[in-house]
Amino acid sequence: MTKDDCYFLGKVTQTHGLKGEVILWLDVDQPELYAELDSVLLDMGNELVPYFLESLLIRGKKSIAKFEDIETIEETAPIINKELYLPIDVLPELEDDTSFYYHEIIGFELEDENTGEAYGSVTQVYEGSGQDLIAFEKEGKEVLVPISDEIVKTVDREKKIIKVDLPDGLLDLYLE
């Protein structure tokens, strides 16, 4: 399995205690959905290696994990600061038409919610500390759209269309 078949779940950040437990930082909106995980894939030098969980205590985005066959603080050393991945096919299914996973909207067409005008296809999603952004190209220029409930109105997975209500003047900033 490669990273292309997976999504980034988080990172092993540090040890916890002396008996092989570690702190996981989970880069997800709803960490509690992952409380029943049996295993994760750790990026061990460009190879994804499965690690089986003995226990996982979800405490928001920071959680305490105990992996099988890791019994001491010294045995945690090789996994500290390693990235966690899960196969894309185990992502929790999203039920509504306003939520989406960033990886799934690449290639979706952005359309004006009111006029139906096509703006362009999503080329990338940028994650930032303050605001995540959807990128698309229009007239040879990259346009960035903030991801918010006020702007992103609906996502039609079947038609691969995202209906948006862009703030007045946003396109002009990029196209002038």
Longest dimension (CA), the chain: 61
Neighbours of 120 (CB within 10 A): 16
Other residues' Cβ atoms within 10 Å of the Cβ of residue 137: 15
Question: What pLDDT, on a 0 to 100 scale, did the predictor assign at position 48?
Answer: 95
pLDDT at 89: 85
Neighbour-count burial for 142-162, b at 16+ CB within 10 Å, e otherwise: ebebbbeeebbbebeeeeebb
pLDDT band at 103 (very low <50, low <70, confident <90, very high): confident
Q: Which CATH number fits domain 102-175: 2.30.30.240, 3.30.460.80, 3.40.50.720, 2.40.30.110?
A: 2.30.30.240
Query: Of 108, 95, 114, which is closest to residue 165 (Cα–Cα)?
Result: 114
Identify the residue whose tokens are 């002396």. 18
Domain 3-89 CATH (choose: 3.90.1150.110, 2.40.30.60, 3.40.50.300, 3.40.50.720): 2.40.30.60
pLDDT at residue 94, as a whole number: 73
